[in-house]
């Protein structure tokens, strides 16, 4: 089934209560889709859904913890029961916990993997099964530039995002004969609250702000609204990987062409990163 520019489609967006997820919900609404706003923050999801409904978009809010498989199954089953189908599943929910890997506890590793990777697996697998039964659908998994290149100082997040890319490209080949499309979006840095909410272990909040400013200098941020348009444009063209903006595509190309150079750059970056650690008793 082909939807022209998402018109009349039924779309589920996880992490839809803020940031990129909220922008995706609003852009889908402008394009004529019915939007199911799913978020662990039920009140945030409700606010987005009410704003969409006020603008004339059919919308529903569902509180969902994507790390909880049962909740994700109910989300998809209830969507199909209510609307008769699920046309787009956008797995966007995520958390960020960074730092020197010596400083991260296994609990913190599990938190990132449970939400950023298994949360996407939950949404992907169960939406894939529903879409295979109905004979059509498109799953869009939000990864990152960190899913394409290594990112020292953010190993747990990077592990999850690489996993999303591998899952998406593998399932894309499986799903083609079943009518199911799968894409992975790999954006660069965005103007969202991710740095406000991000935890960097053993690093004071003011140092996190310094680190983010350095990142923004090298890679200017794009708005969540522009990112949402880029993702939906890429999905409409059925791109396997939606890599944007242009500077991210350049970085990805250079990494594949010069992996040794990137390794040396990353070693240098990690040395600078360690200078900001609160605990300087061990610097190597």
- 279 confidence band (pLDDT: 50, 70, 90): low
- 152 confidence band (pLDDT: 50, 70, 90): very high
pLDDT of residue 159 exceeding 90, the answer is yes
For 181, the 3-state DSSP assignment is: strand
Instruction: For residue 217, indicate whether it is catalytic.
Output: no
CA distance 65 to 62: 10
Dihedral (CA of 244, 245, 249, 255) sign: negative
pLDDT of residue 281 exceeding 90, the answer is no
Domain boundaries, the chain: 10-282
- Per-residue pLDDT, averaged over 62-85, amounts to 99
- Per-residue pLDDT, averaged over 110-137, amounts to 99
Residue among 128, 157, 195, 255 flagged as catalytic: 157
Indicate the class that CATH gives domain 10-282: alpha beta
pLDDT of residue 1 exceeding 70, the answer is no
Nearest Cα to 183, choosing from 251, 119, 126, 232?
232
Tell me the average pLDDT of the chain. Answer: 93
Do residues 152 and 273 touch, judged by C-beta distance below 8 A? yes
For 93, the 3-state DSSP assignment is: coil
Q: Does the predicted model carry a pTM greater than 0.75?
A: yes
- Per-residue pLDDT, averaged over 7-29, amounts to 98
pLDDT of residue 217 exceeding 60, the answer is no
For 177, the 3-state DSSP assignment is: helix
| Residues listed for the chain | 284
Instruction: Enumerate residues 6+ apart whose C-beta is below 8 A from 44.
Output: 17, 18
- 5 confidence band (pLDDT: 50, 70, 90): confident
Backbone angles phi, psi at 149, to 5 degrees: -135, 155
- 204 confidence band (pLDDT: 50, 70, 90): confident
- Per-residue pLDDT, averaged over 163-177, amounts to 99
- DSSP-derived letter for residue 145 is G
Backbone angles phi, psi at 228, to 5 degrees: -60, -40
Can you name the residues that pair with 187 across neighbouring β-strands?
Answer: 244
- Per-residue pLDDT, averaged over 175-198, amounts to 88
pLDDT of residue 49: 99
- E strands in the chain: 10-14, 34-39, 59-63, 88-91, 97-98, 137-142, 180-187, 190-191, 199-200, 222-223, 241-244
Nearest Cα to 44, choosing from 64, 27, 73, 68?
64
**Among 66-70, 170-174, 265-269, where is mean pLDDT lowest?**
265-269
- Per-residue pLDDT, averaged over 72-87, amounts to 99
């Amino acid at each position: 089934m082909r939807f022209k520019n998402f018109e009349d489609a039924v779309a589920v967006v996880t992490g839809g209560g803020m940031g990129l997820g909220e922008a995706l919900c609003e852009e889908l609404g402008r394009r004529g889709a019915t939007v199911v706003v799913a978020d662990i923050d039920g009140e945030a999801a409700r606010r987005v859904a009410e704003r969409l409904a006020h603008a004339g978009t059919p919308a529903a809010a569902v509180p969902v913890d994507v790390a909880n498989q049962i909740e994700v199954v109910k989300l998809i089953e209830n969507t199909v029961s209510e609307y008769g189908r699920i046309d787009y599943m956008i797995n966007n929910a995520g958390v960020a916990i960074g730092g020197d890997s010596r400083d991260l506890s296994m609990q913190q590793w599990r938190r990132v993997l449970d939400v950023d990777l298994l949360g996407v697996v939950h949404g992907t697998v169960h939406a894939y099964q529903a879409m295979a039964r109905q004979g059509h659908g498109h799953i869009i998994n939000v990864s990152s530039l960190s899913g394409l290149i290594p990112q020292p100082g953010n190993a747990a997040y990077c592990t999850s995002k690489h996993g999303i890319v591998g899952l998406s490209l593998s399932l894309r080949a499986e799903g083609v004969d079943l009518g199911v499309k799968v894409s992975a979006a790999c954006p660069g840095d965005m103007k969202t609250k991710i740095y406000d909410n991000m935890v960097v272990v053993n690093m004071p909040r003011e140092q996190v702000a310094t680190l983010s400013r350095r990142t923004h200098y090298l890679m200017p941020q794009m708005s969540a609204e522009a990112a949402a348009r880029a993702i939906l444009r890429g999905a409409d063209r059925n791109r396997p990987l939606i890599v944007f903006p242009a500077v991210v595509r350049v970085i990805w190309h250079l990494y594949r062409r010069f992996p040794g150079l990137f390794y040396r750059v990353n070693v240098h970056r990690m040395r600078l990163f360690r200078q900001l650690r609160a605990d300087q008793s061990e610097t190597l």
